[in-house]
Amino acid sequence: MDFYINTHKKVASKIQATFGKQEEEELLYLTNQEDGQGYTLLVGLGKERDLTFEKLRNSFAKAIKKARTLKIKEIVVKKINFNNEAEAKCIQAIVEGMDLALYTFDKYKTTDKKQEKIDVYLEDIEDEEGVRKIIVETLNVTTSIKLARDMINEPSNKLYPQELANRVMALARNSGFEVEVLEEEEIKALGMEAFLTVGKGTLNKPRLIVMRHLKGGDKEVLGLVGKGLTCDTGGYSLKNSESLMYMKSDMSGAASVIGVMNALAKNNVPQNVIGVVATCENIVAGDSYKPGDIIYTMAGKSIEVLNTDAEGRLTLADALYYIIEKEKVTKVIDIATLTGVAGITFGGVYTALLSNNNDFYTAFMNAANKTEEDFWRLPIHKKYHKYIESEIADLKNTGGSGGGTITAGMFLQEFVKELPWIHLDIAATAAVDPPLCEYTPKGGTGVGIRTLYELIKNK
């Protein structure tokens, strides 16, 4: 999708947003009477004083999808009267809504591919310079989100750990961040037994992907850790057929981290961020791990495996410990499709959040309030700790009846020591069906990328 500013080009179709007359997000489309060709898409924004950027995203997303159905290839966006200060921000929301809405995953369709390219002409822009800058920056972020969605939607026979690493290496070359991919022997030498154990029973061997964007001089280093299960069958604690269907997306946390790294590099953001993804497959084989097994972690703690389907926390325990010990980050955020109950609780709307640090939490929520992505903090209470204590090892990998999403997060907390930490359980929000907003189609969402980018940029 290409955007042009103040070209005064004659284009047959236009999007006209209106306040008041139309209900919020209501869409009317009229054939242009003058020349008999082209359309006017009239989108309602609701009451002017209630306007939010989220309404702009959704309304323009709806309009551009309609334009696609009408096979419109060029469209003029007539500016509404935002106040001057907010012009660039409003354009940002409009670009986000339109560019993300047109995403499709149809690479495996041999016919019926959707037309994706629409040229958009933004007219009556006052701050040309500012708007041009914000469009470039925004498209680098939305492109990164679409790359993340591509990885999430890719089936696990096409996207396995080495292929994920290949994609990251290609992005790194293109966008200018550093990447290092560690193979089994090196991972073993680091002592990451928990991570290796999860990925043991497959020919598609585990990889540790380390991404570095160090453009912030002597500023602090933020660590991002993403869960990277390219396939999670549950292992011997096998999932049922319905749940199995969705587990190609169990690397959504990794996809979000990769998306953020790509956006930071593309936009040359002057901050220090290191991303780590411990990627593997959890499948059933002769040498897969079994319920009852006891394994060690890189941190030295022993874990009794009660359920091989609670594998994410095992890989993350080692990835978190690695990023703190070896990469020397001073704050860390992990993002993971960790617990199915997060989906049951929040039903595709909120990402569950746990944190051990109120200041860090507040900074994160300030960013989230700007991007209007939804997060909800769950409590950490030491009483829950009982649920993850094992009689024969230091910890066990399931909380049994005890607060699924909370105990999973608290299990991870054991591996971050006192460092400011935020845990994002995106099991509810990483992939959606049905979609709950206009600019996120069914499937991978790329949740968290906009908020993490916003947080890092303003650090």
Give the nearest distance from C-beta 198 to Zn ion in angstroms.
9
Residue 339 binds which entry of Zn ion, ligand BES, none, with Cβ cut-offs from 5 to 8 Å by kind?
Answer: ligand BES
Long-range pairs, 62-66, Cβ under 8 A, ≥24: 62/25, 62/27, 62/101, 62/438, 63/15, 63/27, 63/98, 64/15, 64/97, 64/98, 64/101, 64/102, 64/118, 64/120, 65/101, 65/102, 65/438, 66/27, 66/29, 66/41
Task: Tell me the CA end-to-end span of the chain in Å, nearest whole number.
Answer: 30
Candidate list 239, 370, 377, 417, residue with the active-site label: 239
Candidate list 207, 313, 331, 450, residue with the active-site label: 313
337 binds ligand BES (CB under 6 A): yes
Number of residues forming the site for Zn ion (CB under 5 A): 6
309 binds ligand BES (CB under 6 A): yes
List, as one string, the DSSP characters of 197-229.
HHTTTSSS--EEEEEEEE-STTS-EEEEEEEEE
232 binds ligand BES (CB under 6 A): yes
Asked if 375 and 365 count as a contact pair (C-beta separation under 8 A), the reply is yes
- Of positions 343, 403, 443, 444, contacts ligand BES by CB under 6 A: 343
Give the nearest distance from C-beta 229 to Zn ion in angstroms.
5
- CB-based closest residue to ligand BES: 340
Answer yes or no: 313 catalytic. Answer: yes
CA 447 to centroid of chain Cα atoms: 3
Give the nearest distance from C-beta 310 to ligand BES in angstroms.
4
390 binds ligand BES (CB under 6 A): no
Site for ligand BES in 250-269 (CB under 6 A): 250
339 binds ligand BES (CB under 6 A): yes
232 binds Zn ion (CB under 5 A): yes
**Among candidates 254, 406, 410, which has minimal Cα distance to 337?**
254
* Token digits of residue 118: 């629409």
Asked if 433 and 357 count as a contact pair (C-beta separation under 8 A), the reply is no
Site for Zn ion in 239-278 (CB under 5 A): 250
Of the pair 191, 402, the CB lying nearest ligand BES is at 402
312 binds Zn ion (CB under 5 A): yes
Place of tokens 């897969």: 288
Residue 388 binds which entry of ligand BES, Zn ion, none, with Cβ cut-offs from 5 to 8 Å by kind?
Answer: none
Cα three-residue angle 273-168-289, rounded to 5 degrees: 95
Per the document, the length of the chain is 459
Site for ligand BES in 398-437 (CB under 6 A): 398, 404, 427
Name beta bridge partners: 278.
208, 227
| DSSP-derived secondary structure letter, 114 | P
Question: Would you tell me which residues interact with Zn ion (CB under 5 A)?
Answer: 229, 232, 250, 309, 311-312
Please identify every residue annotated as catalytic.
239, 313
Question: Would you tell me which residues interact with ligand BES (CB under 6 A)?
Answer: 232, 234, 246, 250, 307, 309-312, 337-341, 343, 398, 404, 427
